[in-house]
């Protein structure tokens, strides 16, 4: 069994170094070329085998103890967001315009990479195999997890562990909950094609703006009047664009929306009604349309066993356990949980300043990486060395 406190103390400075390197050099989803090279080179230097046949920028490192035991996987997401960072007072501010680690993936990668190096150094104390999955494209649907599952990254994995920093919780805490944790997500892009005209002669037009307004209003009726109010559903129109000037009715309008729920039946019903509303509204306004409806991540559901293992780990290590509040956000770690057992938890990263994920001012208290590192390694110890002993 590995000493979590000792190894985290030894890795603390290196985690900050790696995190700041990734933060200064962020790369967007499915374009994490230099990030991938950095990870691969450090894994190889630590003596890990790089799994062949993995597409894109994802990297899977394999550490084989040579002794019987389960295969445990750790997953870190490596992509950044399309944002211009505003933390220009920080020495590690993004140097890549239009890209920023505003969701903490830099810290996830730093924790996992240091964990891989530490466990490789103590290979003789391990059992079974350990896989370190560095995943591309978590921020873009359908998500990099799909490709990794298809490429066999989890073929022999018994249990997978993932963590995400959470600015709403204080440093020194971890959070999770049994059941619904994050929602499924679907998106659509809609182009409405009408007939433009002078703004003073609307009778000569087939107005795509009014058609879009009608659709926008009716979509919210799905939430308030169609779906069981005890089953959450969010339909948000994030883009509604069209027009040229105040006195011109345009030919075309574009709309984009996101649809989120925990319930598979609600997900199916929402799609059916959305398609009906769009079709009927366009016919009523004498418009045509092109609709692209994309199915994204499934809901992330955590089982009771994983929560209990995490609670035991937090208690043993002296970290605060908080029952997580479910979110309508989405996370493609859910794909892994459809293939094997696993645990996904949140690491408190609050630095005393109000922070939000996906915001140009996002940052973390870097001490949170010690908590994350210890809990990741602690979960490995709990699964491999301690769980069966506690059942005796």
Cis peptide before 379 (omega within 30 of 0): no
- Tell me, yes or no, if 138 is annotated catalytic: yes
Of 4, 106, 138, 365, the catalytic one is 138
Count of CB atoms situated within 10 Å of the CB of 390: 8
- Tell me, yes or no, if 17 is annotated catalytic: no
For 304-388, list the strands marked E by DSSP.
320-323, 341-350
- Measure CA of the first residue to CA of the last residue in the chain; give whole Å: 18
Structure tokens, 323: 């029952």
- Considering only CA atoms, which of 333, 317, 331 is closest in space to residue 133? 333
Count of CB atoms situated within 10 Å of the CB of 113: 27
User: What secondary structure does DSSP assign to 306-324, as a single string?
Assistant: HHHHHHHHHHHHTPEEEEP
Contact 62, 48 (CB under 8 A): yes
In the block, tokens 């045509």 appear at 288
Of 79, 117, 207, 332, the catalytic one is 79
User: Distance between CA 332 and CA 344 in Å, rounded?
Assistant: 11
Percent helix, strand, coil in the chain, to 5, is 40, 30, 35
Annotated catalytic sites, by residue?
Answer: 79, 138
């Amino acid at each position: 069994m590995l000493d979590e406190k000792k190894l985290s103390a030894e890795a603390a400075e290196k985690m900050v170094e790696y995190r700041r390197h990734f933060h200064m050099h962020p790369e967007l989803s499915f374009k994490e070329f230099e990030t991938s090279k950095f990870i691969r080179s450090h894994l190889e230097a630590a003596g890990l085998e790089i799994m062949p046949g993995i597409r894109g920028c994802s990297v899977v490192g394999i550490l084989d103890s040579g002794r019987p035991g389960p295969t445990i996987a750790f997953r870190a997401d490596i992509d950044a967001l399309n944002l211009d960072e505003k933390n220009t007072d920080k020495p590690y501010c993004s140097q890549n315009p239009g890209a920023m680690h505003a969701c903490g993936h830099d810290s996830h990668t730093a924790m996992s990479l240091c964990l891989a190096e530490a466990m490789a150094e103590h290979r003789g104390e391990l059992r079974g195999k350990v896989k370190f999955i560095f995943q591309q494209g978590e921020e873009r649907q359908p998500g990099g997890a799909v490709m990794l599952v298809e490429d066999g990254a989890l073929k022999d994995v018994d249990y997978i562990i993932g963590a995400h920093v959470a600015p709403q919780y204080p440093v020194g805490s971890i959070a999770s909950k049994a059941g619904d944790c994050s929602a499924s997500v679907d998106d659509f892009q809609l182009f409405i094609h009408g007939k433009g005209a002078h703004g003073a002669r609307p009778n000569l037009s087939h107005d795509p703006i009014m058609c879009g307004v009608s659709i926008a209003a009716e979509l919210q009726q799905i939430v308030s009047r169609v779906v069981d109010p005890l089953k959450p559903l969010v339909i948000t129109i994030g883009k509604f664009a069209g027009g040229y000037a105040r006195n011109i009715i345009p030919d075309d309008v574009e709309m984009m929306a996101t649809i989120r729920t925990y319930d598979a039946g609600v997900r199916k019903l929402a799609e059916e009604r959305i398609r009906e509303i769009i079709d009927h509204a366009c016919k009523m306004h004498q418009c045509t349309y092109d609709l692209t409806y994309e199915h994204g991540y499934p809901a992330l559901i955590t089982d009771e066993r994983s929560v209990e293992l995490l609670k035991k780990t937090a208690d043993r290590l002296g970290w605060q356990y908080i029952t997580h509040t479910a979110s309508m956000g989405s996370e493609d770690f859910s794909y892994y949980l459809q293939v094997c057992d696993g645990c996904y938890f949140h690491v408190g990263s609050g630095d005393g300043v109000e922070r939000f994920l996906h915001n140009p001012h996002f940052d973390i208290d870097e001490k949170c990486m010690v908590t994350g590192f210890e809990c990741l390694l602690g979960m490995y110890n709990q699964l491999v060395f301690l769980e069966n002993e506690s059942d005796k």
